[in-house]
A and B are shown apart, each in its own frame.
Chain A
Amino acid sequence: MYNAGKVIIFIVVLILFFTIPMWLNLGRVEAIPKPELPKDKAKCIESKEYMRAYHMKLLDDWRKQAIRENKHVYVAKDGEKYFISLQKTCMKCHNNKEKFCDSCHNFVVTHQDCWSCHIAPEVAEKWQ
């Protein structure tokens, strides 16, 4: 390889440059989001792992089933029944969108547009 020294140095510089966010946050544990979970509830409608991986799919299915198919009840894997409603079901336990939804969503910079129509509990409270 010609100019091996220069090329390798440049590659290292590039790698360092592209990993800047990692170096800047190195050792900063507080950057990892800790969504506030409802205190008096042992479990969500499905397992923690399922909710973590598929909550967006679940919510979209809820919309389709309730609005488009007129099926307003979700029977969870453990047989428990839930009335399909973001505001009347989900947010009754997760009663603070900022502390629950936003803590992760801001971290991963994925901004949902649920809240341009659905009303978060803390927003409703301030409204009155």
Chain B
Amino acid sequence: MSYEVAVVGVGQTKFEYQSKKTTQELVFEAAKKALDDAGMTLEEIDTVVYGSAPDGFDGINMKGEHVIDAAGALGKPFERVFVGGATGALAPITGYYHVASGLSRATLVICQEKMSPCKPKPQGLFNTIFDEFTDRPMGINLIYIFALEMNRYMTVNKIKLETLAKVSVKNKKNAMDNPYAQLPMEITVEDVLNAPVMAYPVTKYHISPSSDGAAAAVFVNKNIAKYKEKPVWIAGVGWCLDSTYWTNRDLAYPKYVEYAARQAYNMAGIKNPQKEIQVAEPYDPFSYKELQHAEGLLLANRGEGWKLIEEGIAYRDGKLPLSPSGGLLGVGNPIAAAGMMKFNEIVLQLRGDAGKRQVKNNPKVGVVQAWGGLMQFTGVLVLKA
């Protein structure tokens, strides 16, 4: 048998570049905020899940063990999830299993990243996640590969750069209402198109920043949730990977995202995601990724992700708001914590607690997706109020 799992508390730190706080200080701040939001103390937590990806960013090898005191994990089962950007979904999925299995009554899930210590810029470290024989000698980094994928996605689906620029404009504007955001701003499509080109078609405003930050949530079983005010239920989870050989992948359509989404929707009893999902946080490290991932999440027909932005569906007052938090483009991208921030946003939206960011359609069902690994790993969670 499995136990129903509710999210009863969320919290996060500000996302910023070159945070003066240490890894432990960020972890503690997010964890304490989530516990406070849940109205719980550490004594009530049975297990702790911590998510963080490449150790190389903050240069602390075996970072999981490094944070256990700050994570409230002394004397408890502790588990680290380590799958790049997908960590922000896989950590909550792991937390879900701890409670669903009955092993834990309450689990604290914390995701954290500190990228800025890596010099001269964190981007160079991404070279080390790729193949040591065929990729690394070529000097590959993530911007190189994203730019290639973006061009393939645009070319196959005949999408204009203007359309993708609108995603950046939307998310950075949404972030204006997010007190934790690193890059909130009101810019125009022209600003995005005319920004310095990093790797065509990627300009500075098509890409999320490097960030430091943490986000956390408290998961409990039904017996504890019934004493809480606005529990949000985890209705479905799924995850899936594509091949490690990235030049052997379909760069236009993320079939593996679709597989992960179908797994989560089946579990949640979602038959028609385009009708039933009311708010979504698809992973948006780059502008095109929000639309490509929305297609994989079956929130748009294949090749028609552009309609979500061009027809106004994806805005906060639209039929299916995407990234009302401000997303990675607006709030920031501290790898593991970015997905967890998106998870927390869906919790707040379903509780009706998103304040100025609250979407207009009174949502009861939402979906969150995080993505990364070697640019081929995704996790999906369906949440219900």
Partners in one complex: no
